[in-house]
Chains A and B, each alone.
Chain A
Amino acid sequence: MAPIIRVQNLVKTYGKFTAVDDISFAVEAGEIFAFLGPNGAGKTTTIKILTTLLKPTKGHVEIDGLDPTRHQNEVRERFGIVFQDPSLDDELTAYENMDIHGALYRVPRRTRAARIEMLLSLFELWERRNDRAKQFSGGMRRRLEIARGMLHTPKILFLDEPTLGLDPQTRNQLWTHVRKLNTDEQVTVFLTTHYMEEADRVASRIAVIDHGRIVAQGTSAELKEQTKTETLEQAFLSLTGSSIREEEADSKDRMRNMVRLWRG
């Protein structure tokens, strides 16, 4: 069977800066694929290209056999995404957030209602369906975003650092839900995270990206063997080095800080 995500010699440059430097990988349908790398390695840029939000400079990308630059809408129907930054409407209730998503993806009314109930129950939010998103904790918001991303029965679910800032209990529960969706609906999961033990536990295969290049890919066991290390964290550090990546704070980071102030 053809892979559901295929990336060949992908390059993305911004002026002189190369964010993604000639990467190639493939994700098989139904797998949970972890895309790991230090800050600024090119993870989010890659996700944006896969999800039609950015155009590649060079190279070829296929989502379920379709080119995201030419078949934008067809590709968009095929994936759900949870962004790094929040994307809920805080003034709307959990149910309304789901319902708008259903309308945007043209999910027929009857299936929409049934699926919203199923997903909100799965993510333990059905009782709180009439509460506004702004009353939700960080973990609940994340759950609602994942539930929403699954509403139109996508083939691929992109999760960009979904567990950032959550406590271990919440993280654990979140991945349990994601794994359940993966088995129940055969949805392919493409995730990024900075928590190595999560990737180790959840992902069937892992690619490590650094400075825009893929430095290793394989199962967790293969990566450990290749680097002769005991844990995935050690393997990761041995692949990417231990120097800290100093990124300059851009406008987005400044705004993120403002959000933290506001949301407390």
Chain B
Amino acid sequence: MDVIYVLWLRQVKRYVRSRARIIGSLGQPLLFLLGLGFGLGPVFQRAGMGNYIQFLAPGVIAMTVLFTSVFSGIELIWDRQFGFLKETLVAPVSRLTIMIGRVLGGATVAVVQGLILLAICLVAGFRFPSLATVPLALFIMALIAVLFTAMGTAIASPMRDFQGFQLIMNFLVLPMFFLSGALFPLGDAPWLLRAIARVNPLSYGVDGLRGTLGGIAYFQITTDIAVLVSVTVGLLLLGGYLFSRIEL
């Protein structure tokens, strides 16, 4: 327990100390929120879909959590060769403990980033229809964070260098974001898009956040949570297995 705590604390400290990173990683979601939100807002309104910011905000929050989590998982590649990871890998501590500490640390950072973005969304005009489901939204945010940190860890564990990084960004992370319904309503989308969204774990995260924060859900919130929990458990198991096989 003590070990998980110090590894978690380490990542939180690192986060608090790197202001450039905090601001830097807010840039992209902000651009989506302001550029798309205000740019496409009038069109969305005219199409009879209501306030676009209200629709978009949960999607952009999910995006922030997604990117921050995947990155902190992938940081592993760097950390393994030139950072602190080696120090933990020769310590008399089980690999699983180390991974749990890392994932919890990375996920905490991602949730904090998500909360910062939520605050910005509120400034930009986003409103909660009801406060009752906000705690549930935090839970969903935490689930998304753990899920994608575990995914990043699983991907990074067998990787030797950053050669594959671009591949992962362009063929996994960005598609997951764009095809999740974060930016557009899934209800009216062509069947192929809807089918893809159904197998994309982020869709359930976005939908869960939209349901609890904005009051509109495409799937059921219980479905969202059930899917997120099972995928998270699966990825933690896979990540734990791959992480335990890391050789220096």
**Most A CB within 10 A of own CB, among B7, B13, B92:** B92
Q: Is the CB of A195 closer than 8 A to any CB of chain B?
A: no
Which A residues touch B161, using CB under 8 A?
Answer: 251-252, 254-255
Q: Is the CB of A225 closer than 8 A to any CB of chain B?
A: no
Q: Is the CB of B86 closer than 8 A to any CB of chain A?
A: yes
Known: A96-B13, A103-B3, A103-B6. Is A89-B83 also a contact (CB below 8 A)?
yes
Q: Is the CB of A230 closer than 8 A to any CB of chain B?
A: no
- The size class of the interface chain A forms with chain B is 35 or more
Which A residues touch B86, using CB under 8 A?
Answer: 83, 85, 87
B90 touches A52 (CB 8 A): yes
Q: Is the CB of A51 closer than 8 A to any CB of chain B?
A: yes
B82 touches A91 (CB 8 A): no
Q: Is the CB of A81 closer than 8 A to any CB of chain B?
A: yes
B10 touches A87 (CB 8 A): no
- The size class of the interface chain B forms with chain A is 20 to 34
B90 touches A255 (CB 8 A): no
B6 touches A252 (CB 8 A): no
Chain B 74-104: CB-based contact to A (< 8 A → 1; otherwise 0): 0000100111111111111100000000000
Q: Which among B18, B89, B92 is the interface contact of A91 at CB below 8 angstroms?
A: B18
Q: Is the CB of A25 closer than 8 A to any CB of chain B?
A: no
List the interface of chain A (C-beta within 8 A of B). 48, 51-54, 72-74, 76-77, 81, 83, 85-92, 96, 99-101, 103-106, 132, 148, 251-252, 254-256, 259
Rank and list the top 10 A-B pairs by shortest CB-CB distance, nearest first. A251-B161, A104-B91, A73-B92, A76-B92, A89-B84, A103-B6, A251-B160, A91-B14, A87-B86, A87-B87
List the interface of chain B (C-beta within 8 A of A). 2-3, 6-7, 10, 13-14, 17-18, 78, 81-93, 160-163, 247-248
Q: Apart from A48-B248, A103-B3, A106-B92, what are 8 other A-B pairs with CB-CB below 8 Å?
A: A74-B92, A76-B92, A87-B86, A89-B10, A104-B3, A104-B91, A104-B93, A252-B161
6 contacts between A and B (CB under 8 A): A86-B82, A92-B13, A96-B10, A103-B6, A104-B93, A106-B2
